[in-house]
Chain A
């Protein structure tokens, strides 16, 4: 669809994608030069602009479909991406914000790209029956939980990178910018726990929605919940090393990511 004829929600989403993309480029260039600080302001500004445009896009899309835009796969991908960006700003102070942004922004670009890759993916859809607030809350909580799992995945990648740099004695630009591995291990733990709590709340709500939220969607959500509850227990009981846990958090996200296709 040419940009000129694109509905404003999608146009804003394109702009948001470009803003996230703009955040990745200078950070990568700065890292290559070994002068990280130069990219810092641009990175944060790009993430803020991307998030603002993303929020506006979701708002307009909600107006367009007359409900919370979470009923098609492209909409779900955008909503999860928005939740990731939101959590990124919430946990940014734990990390160096711009650095987490460098790892988060590409994920957001990929998710937006996937959302756009479905032909006619952003067509309006009719409101089926009455809008039930609890159903909307159930879905929203589940998607924010998925965003927490996505950030656990990003943090896991950061941990694995820093761990490798330390083991191989590769003390250079990225080493000085990445947070301590102990802090990253704790951040993975917090993100996984947060996701499990949110998904538990979402699934808890489903008990109140007899017949409305049921079937394969719910079964898959329970599957994801079981996987991450298991990861939480493994972390809590120190059964696996932090490196193995980081691998689990990084690779584990493949399951909820694929499940988004299955539930839609």
Chain B
């Protein structure tokens, strides 16, 4: 069991992420969840070290620790050697292992940025907050955290919340799938939302999965190749219908995602007018992912129908990314203020 951190203990972070290291190497040094408590104890028991937190996600592996070594470079080397030994990396693999080592204020700043989603592949994503919380909780339960890491992580969580609450870093959609979800949510109650896939392309599948993961009620798949429709429907716990039957079912769904390979429009204004009469003005979202387009753009002129083609979705996602980039400076400013407030910026030198 590590001893309580002394006042002179120094914070260190050694890590690798999607920017520094390719997935072939990252997957070799990832810590599966059951192995984390053992890893935490091993890091804390390294000579000169006591506290530790291990963060292992699909995009990053980071070791946070407190050490009493004179030389920070030595601390980085010790942690790096630990990773090489722990995962039994061959010489070539060890050489390909590109890591970053951060100390004191830099390590704290890095953690604050990670928790706030600023270091994520999708800027501002929120999942990382929960992942860091889980990593810290595991360390706390294993008994390898002390005063230094406890305070650091509490400060990091409060900073992460502040960044999310005071900026719009997490607002807006950054992918076509999440744009589809946002649109559906602003038209319908997702829990009551029925989705139809016309055509079984990869992009339409991604959109449908995004909708299902956010609580869409049911899914119907229709494809020229019926077997493919059945396969996709089974994967998404939905139902499949023959390709010549999708038109008759259109009025029963709230979102239509179309991605056929037809060289001409397959959904026309007259069809949708009839559908809307049957729907008694219930709104209908149509997402046309096909190129060439499946849906006649005049469909958007029909009352209660909201048509988005791939360019419209892409433009919204691009704007979402730009908006998050614009928020970056404000987020960094909050992080600097928090580092100052918690006395972590001063320990930089």
Contacts and interface: CB of A to CB of B under 8 A. Distances in A.
Are A and B genuine complex partners? yes
A11 interface: no
Given A171-B182, A180-B189, A181-B186, A37 B165 contact: yes
Given A167-B300, A167-B306, A238-B280, A34 B185 contact: no
A181 B189 CA distance: 9
Contacts of A180: 185-189
A35 B327 CA distance: 10
A188 B141 CA distance: 51
Interface in A125-173: 162, 166-167, 169, 171-173
Contacts of B303: 241, 243
B201 interface: no
Interface string A174-197: 011010111100000000000000
Contact of B168 (A36, A162, A183): A36
Interface in B136-172: 165-168, 171-172
A242 interface: yes
Nearest to A243: B303
B304 interface: yes
Contact of A35 (B168, B172, B300, B308): B168
Contacts of B283: 181-182, 242
B340 interface: no
A178 B186 contact: yes
B316 interface: yes
Contacts, number: 60
Contacts of A38: 166
Nearest to A35: B168
Interface residues of A, number: 23
A208 B302 CA distance: 49
A17 to B, nearest CB: 30
A164 to B, nearest CB: 11
A37 B304 contact: no
B203 interface: no
A176 B189 contact: no
Contacts of A171: 172-173, 179, 182-183, 316, 319
Contacts of B168: 34-37, 173
Contact of A182 (B166, B179, B187, B308): B187
Contacts of B315: 169
Given A167-B306, A169-B316, A182-B189, A176 B182 contact: yes
A37 B163 CA distance: 11
Contact of B183 (A166, A173, A183): A166
A167 B297 CA distance: 12
Contacts of B185: 180
Q: Tell which of B168, B182, B323 has the most Cβ of chain A within 10 Å.
A: B168
Contacts of B304: 241-243
A181 B187 contact: yes
Nearest to A239: B281
A63 B308 CA distance: 59
A176 B281 contact: no
Nearest to B179: A171
Nearest to A162: B186
Nearest to B172: A176
Contacts of A173: 168
Q: Tell which of A37, A166, A169, A176 has the most Cβ of chain B within 10 Å.
A: A169
Contacts of A238: 280-281
B182 A182 contact: no
Contact of A183 (B182, B189, B280, B308): B189
A237 B121 CA distance: 50
Which 5 residue pairs across A and B have the least CB separation, nearest first? A238-B280, A171-B316, A241-B303, A241-B281, A166-B306
Interface of A: 34-38, 162, 166-167, 169, 171-173, 175-176, 178, 180-183, 238, 241-243
